[in-house]
Structure 1
Amino acid sequence: MRTKHTFRLPPDLALKLADYASRKRVPQAHIVEAALASFLSPDASERLEGALGRRLDRLVRQVERLERNVTISNEALALFVRFWLTTTPSLPDGAHQAAQAKGRERYEGFVDALGRRLAKGRTLAEEIAQDIEPSEGTESAPPQEPV
């Protein structure tokens, strides 16, 4: 048994309802009933909350992975800098200009090599993962060509 309800709609909303009902060839009452059921359904909000929760969980895992990778990168850089500073002797006073020129040249080579490597889309982390986890049936991954 259905209960009759009478209510007033703003003119623009009434036009939209009439237009939608005529396009779908269904009574306006069915559209209003479906809209009310959807609006008042607790399932819709629970589904939305669940979807948002899953998305947030995925984002948290991605951020934690990024944090781990940044920490590893920072530690690797700090270790390299410490090693380089402890093993590289100071330059004599007359060699600074030549060393700076050679340093700029080597840095440009480094940036070019980095650009080529990034253009390939392959990362050092992927190569390390392959070296650590060799494919099944082989003892070690084949050596990769240096950049």
Structure 2
Amino acid sequence: MKRPRRKQQITVYLDPSLAEILGDLATRRRQSQSMLVETALAAFLSPEDGKGEGALNRRLERLDRRMGRMERDIGINVETLALFIRFWLLTTPPLPEPTAAAARAQASARYEQFIETLARHLSTGHRLHQDLGREEPPS
């Protein structure tokens, strides 16, 4: 009679935080760490059952939608900046030389104030463009 084949032992090195998560999960489920790793590895390596492949496809679709939104947002930002620069150049007359130096000094101070305001606003985590791009939920 043939002996059943034994499982093969391998050695795997895990990040300490991942090893702790695995240990906690094994304790909660009352299963061995080896069984949990074997199950997870089997699911990862055999997408034929549809579970692994479906999850991967959903992630890829989500990433694709995010990339699409990012491309749209970057396009809007570039177009907005280009239109603003064109408008500013068309409507702002050059300054006479005697007042140009004072205007440059004032512009420098105003620019520094703008940078400080921008830094404060960005540190809050709220973005103005999010308010502009909010879509109303369909009724």
**Range into which the TM-score falls when normalised by the shorter chain:** 0.5 to 0.7
Structure 1, unaligned runs of 5 or more: 15-22, 26-30, 134-147
Match in the other structure for 2:21: none
Of 64, 68, 76, which residue of structure 2 is paired with 1:64?
68
Q: Matched residues, percent identical?
A: 40
Q: Are residues 43 and 68 of structure 1, via their aligned partners in 2, closer, same or farther at CA, if it must alter by over 3 Å?
A: closer
Corresponding residue of 2:19: none
Say yes or no: does 1:52 pair with 2:52: no
Q: Distance in 1 between matches of 2:61 and 2:115?
A: 37
Structure 2 residue runs without a partner (length 5+): 11-29
Q: Does 1:97 align with 2:131?
A: no
Could you state the TM-score of these two structures normalised by the residue count of structure 2?
0.62
Residue 107 (structure 2) pairs with residue 107 (structure 1): no
Q: What is the CA–CA distance in structure 2 between the aligned matches of 1:90 and 1:82, rounded to whole Å? A: 15
2:78 counterpart residue number:
74
What is the CA distance between 1:44 and its match in structure 2? Answer: 5.7
| 1:85-141 Cα deviation digits (max 9, x unpaired) | 0000012223332222111111111111112221222211233256x85xxxxxxxx
Equivalent in the alignment of 1:128: 132
Q: Greater Rg, structure 1 or structure 2?
A: 1
Q: Alpha carbon RMSD of aligned pairs, Å?
A: 3.6
Superposition deviation, residue 24 in structure 1: 6.5
Higher relative contact order (CA 8 A, sep 6+): 1
Task: Kindly report which structure 2 residues correspond to 1:36-51, keeping only aligned pairs within 5 A, or say none.
Answer: 46-51=50-55
Distance 1:75 1:102 in 2: 28
**CA displacement, residues 42-90 of structure 1 (integer Å, 9 cap, x when unaligned):** 6665321111111000000001001111111111111110000000001
Once residues 8 and 127 of structure 1 are traced to their aligned partners in structure 2, the CA distance between those partners, rounded to angstroms, is 61
Residues matched between the structures, number? 111
